[in-house]
Amino acid sequence: MENRRQLVFSFVIRLLGFFVLLMRSSRGDINYSVPEETKIGHVIGNIAKDLGLSAKTLSTRKARLDADDDGKVYCDILSSGDLVVAERIDREEMCGPKTECSLKYEIILENPLQLHRVMIEVQDINDHSPVFASDMIKFEIRESAMKGARFAVNGAHDADIGQNGVQSYVLQNNAHFSFDVHAKPGGGKYGELVLNKELDREQQRELTLTLTAKDGGNPQRSGTAVIHVTILDANDNVPVFSQSVYKVNVPESAALGTVVATVTATDADEGANGDVTYEFGYLSEELNRLFKLNEKTGDIILDGQVDFEKESRYELSIQGKDGAGLASFASVIVEVSDVNDNPPAIFLKSVQNPVPENAAPGTEVGIINVQDKDTGKNKQVHCSIQQNVPFQLIPSIKNYFSIVTTSELDREQVAEYNITITATDEGMPPLSSSKVIHLSVSDVNDNPPVFDEQSYSAYVAENNKAGTSICSVTARDPDWRQNGTVLYSLLPSEVNGVPVSSFLSINADTGVIHAVRSFDYEQFRSLKVQVVSRDNGSPPLSSNATVSVFITDENDNSPQILYPAPEGKSLMTEMVPKAALSGSLVSKVIAVDADSGQNAWLSYRIVKSTDPGLFSMGVHSGEIRVQRDISESDSMKQNLVISVRDNGQPPLSATCSVYLLISDNLAEVPELKDMTYEEKSSKLTSYLIIALVSVSTFFLTFIILILAVRFCRRRKPRLLFDGAVAIPSAYLPPNYAEVEGAGTLRSSYNYDAYLTTGSHTSDFKFIRSYNDSTLPAGGTLRKSPDDSNIITFSEAGEEGVFLPCAQ
């Protein structure tokens, strides 16, 4: 189509040229045409013929060509009159882009001078190809360029003109661009690359297209250029995470600084558009504290301590952003795994404190609950109770345990328990914890008071003051407070028909026993009382003990002289035969002492005598004997003053007078009454005699009586009769009479003694010694000099002190 049009066009042009040629010819000009680049010698036309001259004429007339303006002459006239090409004719050189191009000459003929104009039109031939300004046309197009975008490309140039100029462009087939040609204002053409389909740098970074320009000559010529399109990046890609959700597992024990996970996002863009930085989405304060994100590497770093028990799962939102701000998101799920980091905890849910000591075995005293915050095996807990306490753990529902007693409790032995309960879990390694539960045992009144001794002995000297404390008893009760508070009392009883309370009293609190009155050893020597101790419990418990109070003797009785009768009352005169030999018994003084022991051990002395050498006194027997044979010169009437003294501290004594008449016949004593009582009447004398006789009779009767009684009962105490006077051997104090060897008291400290209740005529009693069996044989007994109540007793070389009331 295009070609055809071009053909028509060129035809019209030629036709026009022809008419012009005709007009010129008509004016006498000669017109020729010759294609450029014809070979030298090419005949353009025959001038001779065209001028109507013969060739010969031409040569004779020296026809020659002359160029205007001394221009170059490309043609030559041959002798034949032919106009031939003499030099290479290049239209482009001569006329450039001008469409009209002709060589204008004048033919000069001489003889006559004639001028003819010749115009040779130079015709274009297609001897040039289109040429682009450069072989390589470079473009940088952003991949974001829109469809329809245009990019101007300079057209190719073809030196030829007309049909031989650039007629069309052909762009190499490609997916993205087409090529449009436009006329430039003011002539010329330019092309445009038109983007038909968007570019994608990420698919293809550059494009090389060949653009071909074609002319319309025949043969057709073409020229090519390479269009190089560099596709510039546009931030058209978002970063893409390798996973949309990252799941990681972290043990709760993970150290700070541990990389928990690494997220990666890639961005297909380049440069800053492809540089991905990471950041967290919204995070709670706690999460912010726990995790840090390396914005370059995408490492999520543990920055705090995770705790499975607090939170086992965290979800972090992460943004990956490229330099231009395109972003995408991913989430990281951090699952915290359990580590056995929690020891079991023991909680005391209830406790019965105190536990009464009479609680039956199996009584529940407390409930504990054990908890472990860990999971799985780390949560499995075993519980145990320490050994050697009477408690055990009984598992109950879930993690509850009962603490029950396993045996009877006794507050008096163990009043409180510290029970250690240990709980251990099954983790690796196991953790354990323990708790101490304090349990106290409360009292029950289960113990009666117990006296230190079952029987007490106390010694008290007679003539004590009323109110004297005699001894104290102690009973102990291990129970608590009032259950163990002991009160003392005396069990009512009678002593000799008198209530015991009139003799003794006890301090209810202290157990100190007091004498209510003064005791008299000579009245009674001991008394026995039951002491009761009672606690304050409800009901109270009690026990009793026996207290024996022994009254010890004091020297409070003077010796009593029974014979001879005391002075003034009766007058006794002993008859001493004149022939009495030295050593013969004359008389015997008899005295008694109501006290006992040393206090009753009497000794006799002659204090005063008429003839000091005549009579001697048995110190302990009281016997008066003749010391030497009586001679005629001795006075008939002998008078002795006798002192009887006991061995007490201080000693007490009594005196009496004995009148002795040395005579064989009572009648020989005319002035008997003058011996002492010269002035007394005969009436008095007769009274005396009567009294003497009656006393003697009575005494004899008495002696016989005693003898009989003693003989019947014991047969032991022998009575010595010497002369008219009977003296019981038991009258002698025991130490004196029976102490042997090294002072060991053998058979007895016991002795019998006569006691009198006062008057001479009253009856005597036998009182048996009380300490018959209190001393074991082999011990030594002696009286302490400073304290008459303390008796020191030593046995087998050991010495001890017997305190009254301690036993």
Ligand X SMILES: *[C@@H]1O[C@H](CO)[C@@H](O)[C@H](O)[C@H]1NC(C)=O
**Residue 363 touching ligand X (CB under 6 A):** no
Nearer to ligand X, 439 or 652 (CB): 439
Nearer to ligand X, 533 or 735 (CB): 533
Which of 326, 339, 444, 575 binds ligand X (CB under 6 A)? It is 444
Nearer to ligand X, 169 or 480 (CB): 480
Distances (CA, A) of 694 to 194, 485, 570, 656, 687: 189, 68, 11, 19, 10
Long-range contacts of the stretch 74-78 (C-beta < 8 A, 24+): 74/103, 75/44, 75/103, 75/105, 75/120, 77/47, 77/107
Q: Closest separation between CB of residue 538 and ligand X, Å?
A: 6
Q: Closest separation between CB of residue 350 and ligand X, Å?
A: 20
Q: Closest separation between CB of residue 422 and ligand X, Å?
A: 16
Q: Which of 125, 278, 325, 279 is nearest to 216 (CA)?
A: 125
Judged by CB under 6 A, how many residues of this single chain contact ligand X?
Answer: 16
Encoded tokens for 717:
């105490």
From 138-146, 474-482, 593-601, 611-619, span contacting ligand X (CB under 6 A) = 474-482
Which of 482, 657, 748, 774 binds ligand X (CB under 6 A)? It is 482
User: One symbol per residue from 405 to 424: x for binding ligand X (CB under 6 A), - otherwise; what is it?
Assistant: -----------x-x------
Nearer to ligand X, 73 or 351 (CB): 351
**Longest CA–CA separation in the chain, Å:** 270
Q: Which of 580, 592, 602, 723 is nearest to 660 (CA)?
A: 580
Which of 472, 483, 533, 552 binds ligand X (CB under 6 A)? It is 483
Concatenated DSSP letters of 715-745: --SPEEEETTEEEEGGGS-HHHHH-BTTTB-
Nearer to ligand X, 156 or 365 (CB): 365
Q: Closest separation between CB of residue 353 and ligand X, Å?
A: 13
- Count the neighbouring beta carbons within 10 Å of the beta carbon of residue 400: 14
From 152-160, 475-483, 517-525, 583-591, span contacting ligand X (CB under 6 A) = 475-483
From 69-77, 89-97, 480-488, 584-592, span contacting ligand X (CB under 6 A) = 480-488
Which of 177, 291, 314, 480 binds ligand X (CB under 6 A)? It is 480
Q: Which of residues 315-354 bind ligand X (CB under 6 A)?
A: none
Buried-state track 561-599, b at ≥16 Cβ within 10 A, e below 16? bbbbbeeeebbbbbbbebebeeeebbbbbbbbbbbbbbb
Nearer to ligand X, 7 or 491 (CB): 491
Residues 6+ apart with CB under 8 A from 128: 92, 158, 159, 160, 164, 215, 221
**Residue 537 touching ligand X (CB under 6 A):** yes
Q: Closest separation between CB of residue 435 and ligand X, Å?
A: 12
Nearer to ligand X, 378 or 483 (CB): 483
Which of 160, 233, 374, 443 binds ligand X (CB under 6 A)? It is 443
From 325-333, 436-444, 604-612, 621-629, span contacting ligand X (CB under 6 A) = 436-444
User: One symbol per residue from 539 to 568: x for binding ligand X (CB under 6 A), - otherwise; what is it?
Assistant: ----xx------------------------
Cα 528 versus chain centre, distance = 64
Distances (CA, A) of 487 to 18, 596, 635: 173, 38, 77
Beta bridge partners, 777, equal none
Determine the Cα–Cα distance for residues 741 and 761; give it in Å rounded to an integer: 40
From 313-321, 336-344, 481-489, 719-727, span contacting ligand X (CB under 6 A) = 481-489
Q: Which of 300, 289, 210 is nearest to 248 (CA)?
A: 300
**Is-contact 373 366, C-beta < 8 A?**
no
From 326-334, 440-448, 710-718, 719-727, span contacting ligand X (CB under 6 A) = 440-448
Determine the Cα–Cα distance for residues 626 and 643; give it in Å rounded to an integer: 18
Q: Closest separation between CB of residue 727 and ligand X, Å?
A: 48
**Is-contact 401 366, C-beta < 8 A?**
no
Nearer to ligand X, 543 or 627 (CB): 543
From 341-349, 443-451, 459-467, 502-510, span contacting ligand X (CB under 6 A) = 443-451
Nearer to ligand X, 17 or 448 (CB): 448
Burial class (CB in 10 A: 0-12, 13-18, 19+), 120: buried
Encoded tokens for 281:
């989405």
Side-chain-side CA neighbours of 613 within 13 Å: the count stands at: 5
| Phi and psi based region of residue 583 (left: phi greater than 0; alpha: psi -120 to 50; beta: remaining) | left
Distances (CA, A) of 523 to 341, 457, 518, 554: 90, 19, 11, 13
Side-chain-side CA neighbours of 54 within 13 Å: the count stands at: 3
Buried-state track 137-157, b at ≥16 Cβ within 10 A, e below 16? bebebebbbeeebebebebbb
Q: Closest separation between CB of residue 419 and ligand X, Å?
A: 10
From 437-445, 494-502, 706-714, 730-738, span contacting ligand X (CB under 6 A) = 437-445
Q: Closest separation between CB of residue 597 and ligand X, Å?
A: 34
Q: Closest separation between CB of residue 386 and ligand X, Å?
A: 11
Nearer to ligand X, 448 or 566 (CB): 448
Nearer to ligand X, 417 or 601 (CB): 417
**Residue 440 touching ligand X (CB under 6 A):** no
Q: Closest separation between CB of residue 415 and ligand X, Å?
A: 8
Distances (CA, A) of 751 to 245, 436, 552, 677: 121, 71, 15, 41
Q: Where are the alpha helices (DSSP H) in 243-320?
A: 285-290
Q: Which of 394, 435, 391 is nearest to 414 (CA)?
A: 391
Which of 163, 224, 273, 445 binds ligand X (CB under 6 A)? It is 445
Nearer to ligand X, 324 or 439 (CB): 439
Q: Which of residues 484-503 bind ligand X (CB under 6 A)?
A: 491
From 127-135, 442-450, 463-471, 547-555, span contacting ligand X (CB under 6 A) = 442-450
Nearer to ligand X, 62 or 438 (CB): 438
From 186-194, 226-234, 438-446, 663-671, span contacting ligand X (CB under 6 A) = 438-446
Encoded tokens for 514:
């007091």
Q: Closest separation between CB of residue 408 and ligand X, Å?
A: 15
Q: Closest separation between CB of residue 807 and ligand X, Å?
A: 18
**Is-contact 401 310, C-beta < 8 A?**
no
Contacts with ligand X, residue ranges (CB under 6 A): 416, 418, 438, 442-445, 480-483, 491, 530, 537, 543-544
